[in-house]
Structure 1
Amino acid sequence: MRRNRFALSLFWRTFILLSLLLTAGIVAWVQTFKALEFEPRTVQAAQQIASLVNLSRAALHYADSINRVTLIKTMSEQESIMLRAREPADQFEPFEVNRFTNAIGKELRSRLGPTTVVASSVNHVPGLWVGFQIERDNYWLQADTARVEPMTGRTWFIWVGIAFIATILGSAAIARLINQPLKELSFAASRIREGEYDSVLDESMITREIREVNQGFNRMARELAKVEEDRAVMLAGISHDLRTPLARIRLEAEMSVVDEEAKRNIAADIDQLDAIIDKFMDYARPGDVTLVPVHVSSVVDKAISQFRDTKRIRIGAKLPIDTKVMADETELGRVLTNLFENARRYGRNTYTGVANVEVSYTRSGSWVLLTVRDHGPGVAVEKLAQLTTPFFRGDAARTAATGAGLGLAIVEKALQRMGGQLDLGNAPGGGLVAHIRLKRAP
């Protein structure tokens, strides 16, 4: 039970597995892209800086001293490139501090010469500084560091975020596409469990395996519907065929048997057989019910009125008259009658021989919980789960009882048809307690 409580649905299981798979793919893609992008980006950055240095060197080489000042000023204003003389006292910090900047520095020296100096700041002025020579004169070229910066974390975050969102949406769409046929199959199976055999699955699916499963399920549903129809016809015939000779036996006993005690015993046996036939018919009753708002108190009162023999059973009910549930009035009455009959037979007090039954209710959210409790000996704990099994009696001594062993099975089946639930247990003070859970009417 604990394992089932935390079990994931197939949709979420598929969704999580697909998400993990695609997320691992994104991580692998990012790492691969970084590795493939590293070398081209360093070469491109170094090539751009080297081109600036070469252009600046050529411009300064062919300009006289007067035009050099104008050229340096123009380059600073229009290209964001600053040129200045390199002094021996200049203080600078190395540019190569990581794998990316080391690769750029190495590439710049291979293009500009081994004496090239690359710095991240000169005289505490940050920037990308490249030291080069024109003949015997030393110069600094300061360029925008954005030219050689790797991809920022914000760019990676946007890329990975978009990929992750696409992964989540794609996983949800694929999981829904995979699980939709199984969801339809599960819904159709639940309807068959409730006795509705008109569910038809799509037999024109593209997927061959799902199409074959749907075809097999539809064939099974048709066969079960035919079996159910044959069973109803058979039970109706048996009921009719058995009651006719029973009526003749009753009439014969009334006319031919002289001994009054024997006559009463024959009549009791006939009544017992007739009640057993009714139980069989109730259990085999079709599952179609119409749920409407029903006053619980009135249905309980009608069921109680059928048990007027206070020497065998006494029923007390504490129900408000305004409590309504969504149910079929006939089915709910049959549920209560069977519970009262079960208490009358098996819930008698050991000393008085009378079955004292209490009917109460509580509300829990959108549900109404009816409780029917007797004060009899109760049932062994290990046998509680078997009480709703057809033809099972909770105590070996009860095999001499006059029932068919279908009462609680009929109760459970009727409640399932009405969307309710039956729970059986032993009361703390002794006796069997039945909890009937039904949807509260608006």
Structure 2
Amino acid sequence: MSENRLALSLFWRTFILLGLLLTVGIVAWVQTFRALEFEPRAVQSAQQVASLVNLSRAALRYADSINRVTLIKALFDQESITLKPSEPADSYQPFEQNRFTRTIAEELRSRLGAETVVAGSVNGVPGLWVRFQIEQDLYWLQTDSRRFGTMTGRLWFVWVGIALIATLLGSIVIARLINKPLKELSFAASRIRGGEYDSRLDESMITREIREVNQGFNRMARELAKVEEDRAVMLAGISHDLRTPLARMRLETEMSVADEEARRNMVADIEQLDAIIDKFMDYARPGEVELVPVHVATVVDKAISQFRDTQRIRITSKLPIDTRVMADETELGRVLTNLFENARRYGRNTYTGVTNVEVSYARVGSWVVLSVRDHGPGVASEKLSELTTPFFRGDAARTAATGAGLGLAIVEKALQRMGGDFELANAAGGGLVAHIKLKRAP
């Protein structure tokens, strides 16, 4: 059977492309923001620490011993700042650990003096420590280094996560807005393909291009409906006007022709003309069908019962009675009858002159595939795709009988109306096999 090609719908392609575009934009924005935010934050942090050092230095220089203790306690309680004398035995770790902390340390030395010491911990106590001098005494100022750090990875993750979620939601909304009119157009076109010409699209869309497409589609649907109506009236008239003289000719032939063989041949010709008219009417039948669960074995048995002449055709069926498909019973019966008739005419065995037909089935996922095979001469592989073309005839081996050349075209059209598929192939052991693919009924 034909392969199903994996393809994304237009909605998902639009969504993925928009999502990728916006995600790349967010990543670029984050990197740009971090680059632009890095140096100003480092300079601002250094300025704050330098101001604290200068204020502390001025306050300690002009305060007596009692007020100095009070000042130190107030700074600790209100600003979480510790001031303590520097001892020669103090051990400290450098504050410069990365680019950000190095920038802060350099900015502090440029503001407080080159001799300023900036430490990340003193005597094992972490923090931002700055050693400064008041006259001949050295002091440590300690503050929490987290107050001057960059945004943490967790905070970045939260903000970027919120931005990505907003991006995905926005992409869904935009993709739906873009694809909604296209989806409506696709649905309306599928209804037109199925023979329903009453589909109408909104002609008051804000987007000018979509509005013009909808107007053109509606105009096309109206014209197709008119053409279909005219065709049905014309074919009905032709059928009526041809059958009346044919019936009269048959009556006159049976009454006026004396020769028995000539009369029989003339009646057969008239019956063939009448059958050809039926084929034309079947091919021009309107497209609306109602799909219901149908027992395949029952329909096949009814179609087989119409071919009782075992001297010309023998049909065997291997179908379970519980297999059901979604179809129109009349249409499916017409499909099978046409296939059996096609096999009777063109699939005769070269040696016996009898057509042997086998009907089998297979379940493929949610589909049921019926196979109708004869054991005739088959068809040249390059002509298989043309057998369903109206009025086309294959090679001489399969054109020994007369007909309208519409049988397989009617089969393909009927299966399309029922949402199925039709495929022809040469069987491995000889003969032609027709595959009918229909949805399995629940």
Alignment TM-score, normalising by the size of structure 2: 0.94
Partner of 1:342: 342
How far apart, CA to CA, are the structure 2 residues paired with 1:403 and 1:288?
A: 26
How far apart, CA to CA, are the structure 2 residues paired with 1:94 and 1:150?
A: 19
How far apart, CA to CA, are the structure 1 residues paired with 2:3 and 2:103?
A: 56
Secondary structure of the 2:350 match is coil
The answer to which of 427-436 and 363-372 deviates more is 363-372
Partner of 2:167: 167
Partner of 1:205: 205
How far apart, CA to CA, are the structure 1 residues paired with 2:45 and 2:385?
A: 77
How far apart, CA to CA, are the structure 2 residues paired with 1:260 and 1:216?
A: 61
Partner of 2:23: 23
> CA offsets per residue over residues 46-102 of structure 1, 9 Å max, x none?
122122212322232233345544543554455322222223443333323433223
How far apart, CA to CA, are the structure 1 residues paired with 2:78 and 2:428?
A: 93
Partner of 1:137: 137
Secondary structure of the 2:40 match is helix
Q: Which runs of 5+ in 2 are unaligned?
A: none
Letter in 2 for 1:103: T
Partner of 2:218: 218
Q: Is the 8 A contact 2:346 2:399 kept in 1?
A: no
CA positional deviation for 1:332 = 1.2
Overall identity of the aligned pairs, in %: 83
Partner of 1:12: 12
Partner of 1:375: 375
Alignment TM-score, normalising by the size of structure 1: 0.94
CA positional deviation for 1:146 = 0.8
Q: Is the 8 A contact 2:390 2:409 kept in 1?
A: yes
- 1:51 corresponds to 2:37: no
How far apart, CA to CA, are the structure 2 residues paired with 1:396 and 1:234?
A: 33
Partner of 1:311: 311
Partner of 2:423: 423
Alignment of 1:251-330 (within 5 A): 251-330=251-330
Secondary structure of the 2:55 match is helix
The answer to which of 8-17 and 303-312 deviates more is 8-17
CA positional deviation for 1:4 = 8.1
Q: Which runs of 5+ in 1 are unaligned?
A: none
CA positional deviation for 1:397 = 4.2
Partner of 1:117: 117
Partner of 2:188: 188
Letter in 2 for 1:277: I
How far apart, CA to CA, are the structure 1 residues paired with 2:411 and 2:261?
A: 35
How far apart, CA to CA, are the structure 2 residues paired with 1:23 and 1:389?
A: 51
CA positional deviation for 1:153 = 1.2
Q: Is the 8 A contact 2:314 2:357 kept in 1?
A: yes
Letter in 2 for 1:374: D
How far apart, CA to CA, are the structure 2 residues paired with 1:318 and 1:193?
A: 34
Letter in 1 for 2:314: R
Q: CA RMSD in A?
A: 2.2
The answer to which of 363-372 and 239-248 deviates more is 363-372
Partner of 1:242: 242
Letter in 2 for 1:377: P
The answer to which of 102-111 and 168-177 deviates more is 102-111
**Relative to structure 1, is the Cα distance of residues 2 and 15 closer, same or farther in structure 2, using a 3 angstrom cutoff?**
farther
CA positional deviation for 1:338 = 0.3
> CA offsets per residue over residues 155-193 of structure 1, 9 Å max, x none?
111111111111111111101101110111011111111
CA positional deviation for 1:405 = 1.3
Secondary structure of the 2:131 match is strand
Secondary structure of the 2:164 match is helix
